[in-house]
């Protein structure tokens, strides 16, 4: 499947094209253009924004002859709000929980979220399942139960804002697309198994907006945003030095290359006179803005927790064991020491590890694979994962579409393998004359099929598993 992802940023619009073989994602092309018509994560001009999107897509598809099967588009947290939803669904006694049951429970959770009339849900993300009296269930599918309960994070967007985004995509001639929360896909790319179990506060710092989320219990349980980003630091430096924004931005990004006691030479705006100032003065200016940003982020998190969970006594779901910073804002320099006391002396991470689902890029450019560890690209890479089904176990997406996590290749891919077993065994028999060797080869083939089927995703685990095990048992007796 070929996916085209679009990250709608305030400073840059990034586009990535990838292919997916059921196991790994291969990057085909990544391109970016200067953003227009978007400010602080929100649309300021539909025409300008659609033109920028078209330009970015054209740049990515240049010299490529490829069919795009699906588009996936990021939505900033500046547009969305989180709401608490819950559901309790009664089943026939002893019934096995099906995908339909989980879908109904998610729909009920959305209805209890009390969304404002002018809002609609783009994600219903369950983070806590309870089956009968067991509240430690990770995946309820196939379990026998008379009752299933769940709690969910319902991420909703204003309908007018949604229609504006749709209008941009329509003008850019994009169809068959999915809209996804940007902080959600950042979590998908950046977080590992330990993070999913222990909980992580993740902050994606952009040019004008910081998207914030808490990922816990294998799901995004909270999301919010504050309108502050790296451009505010650039403006502070420009004001300090009386320079233009571009010059200030370059000084900001290169500040770590200078010794602390060095003298910085620069040319103020609209003059040819070279001025001098100490690096320490500029660094202090940057520090003050970043410190303010971190304080605002910490306050925003506590405010959102209070808003969502105080009356429901579920604050514990929002506990996190570490804090991860991503996005271009936090590339200026390592902020770990500054952030540590602000976030309750929890471990601070600013380094991004490559997600193993991505294949290395074959390129003559030595820096090509640096995108996998560059915090500016975590959103676009997370979008590609989401579009290929590498997301939470279950989700109710925009339009009440149920989404189930992809765990391996589609079941259809093993049908030809199963149908050709006799042919494969026959070929192995011809190659080996010894009876013991033939039996070994046949058993290896069966084991390979077992390994394949363990990895397959299926919509009704009980029926599929039973039927397949019978089939394997028959083969073992036969051979």
Tens digits of residue pLDDT in 377-391:
999 999 999 999 999
Q: Are 268 and 244 in contact (CB under 8 A)?
A: no
In the numeric block, the tokens 């910073």 are attached to 325
pTM attached to this predicted model? 0.81
Give tens-digit pLDDT for 60-73.
999 888 899 999 99
Task: Return the pLDDT at 66.
Answer: 87
Helix axes 421-431, 435-454, angle to 10 degrees: 150
Residue 424 has pLDDT above 50, yes or no: no
Rounded Cα–Cα distance for residues 239 and 225 (Å): 26
Residue 410 has pLDDT above 70, yes or no: no
Give tens-digit pLDDT for 204-238.
999 889 999 999 878 899 899 999 999 999 999 99
Rounded Cα–Cα distance for residues 16 and 27 (Å): 7
Task: Return the pLDDT at 315.
Answer: 55
User: Which are the contacts of 128, defined by CB distance < 8 A and separation ≥ 6?
Assistant: 135, 150, 151, 217, 317
Per-residue burial over 325-354, b if 16 or more Cβ lie within 10 Å, else e, is bbbbbbbbbebeeebeebbeebebbbebee
* Across 102-116, 119-133, 257-271, 361-375, least confident range: 257-271
Binning pLDDT at 50, 70 and 90, where does residue 247 land?
confident
Give tens-digit pLDDT for 311-348.
454 556 678 899 999 998 988 888 999 999 999 999 99
Q: Are 340 and 201 in contact (CB under 8 A)?
A: no
Task: Return the pLDDT at 393.
Answer: 92
């Amino acid at each position: 499947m070929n996916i085209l992802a679009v990250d709608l940023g305030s400073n840059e619009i990034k586009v990535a094209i990838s292919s997916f073989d059921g196991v790994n994602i291969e990057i085909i092309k990544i391109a970016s253009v200067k953003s227009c018509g978007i400010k602080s994560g929100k649309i300021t001009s539909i025409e300008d924004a659609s033109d920028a999107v078209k330009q970015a897509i054209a740049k990515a598809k240049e010299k490529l002859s490829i069919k795009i099967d699906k588009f996936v588009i990021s939505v900033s947290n500046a547009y969305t709000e989180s709401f608490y939803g819950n559901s309790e669904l009664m089943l026939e006694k002893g019934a096995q929980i099906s995908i339909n049951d989980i879908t109904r429970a998610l729909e009920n959770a959305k209805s209890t979220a009390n969304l404002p009339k002018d809002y609609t849900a783009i994600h219903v993300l369950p983070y806590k399942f309870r089956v009968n009296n067991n509240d430690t269930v990770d995946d309820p599918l196939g379990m026998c139960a008379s009752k299933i309960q769940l709690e969910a994070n319902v991420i909703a967007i204003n309908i007018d804002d949604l229609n504006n985004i749709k209008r941009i995509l329509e003008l850019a001639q994009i169809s068959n697309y999915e809209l996804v929360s940007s902080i959600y896909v950042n979590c998908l790319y950046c977080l590992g198994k330990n993070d999913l179990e222990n909980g992580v506060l993740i902050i994606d710092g952009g040019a004008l907006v910081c998207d914030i989320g808490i990922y816990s219990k294998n799901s995004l349980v909270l999301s919010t945003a504050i309108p502050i980003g790296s451009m505010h630091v650039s403006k502070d430096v420009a004001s300090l030095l009386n320079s233009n924004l571009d010059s200030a931005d370059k000084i900001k990004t290169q500040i770590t290359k200078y010794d602390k006691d060095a003298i910085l030479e620069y040319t103020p705006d609209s003059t040819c006179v070279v001025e001098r100032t100490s690096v320490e003065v500029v660094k202090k200016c940057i520090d003050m803005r970043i410190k303010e940003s971190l304080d605002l982020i910490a306050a925003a998190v506590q405010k959102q927790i209070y808003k969502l969970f105080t009356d429901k006594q579920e604050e514990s779901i929002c506990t996190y064991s570490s804090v991860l910073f991503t996005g271009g804002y936090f590339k200026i320099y390592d902020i770990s020491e500054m952030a540590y006391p602000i976030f309750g002396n929890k471990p601070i991470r600013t380094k991004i590890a490559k997600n193993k689902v991505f294949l290395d890029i074959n390129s003559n450019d030595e820096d090509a694979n640096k995108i996998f560890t560059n915090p500016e690209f975590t959103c676009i890479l997370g979008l590609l994962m989401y579009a290929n089904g590498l997301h939470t176990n279950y989700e109710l997406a925009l339009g009440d579409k149920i989404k189930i996590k992809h765990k391996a290749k589609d079941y259809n891919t093993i049908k030809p393998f199963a149908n050709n077993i006799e042919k494969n065994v026959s070929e192995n028999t011809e190659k080996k004359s010894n009876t013991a060797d033939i039996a070994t080869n046949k058993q290896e083939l069966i084991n390979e099929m077992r390994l394949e089927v363990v990895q397959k995703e299926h919509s009704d685990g009980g029926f599929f598993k039973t039927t397949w095990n019978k089939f394997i048992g028959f083969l073992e007796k036969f051979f």
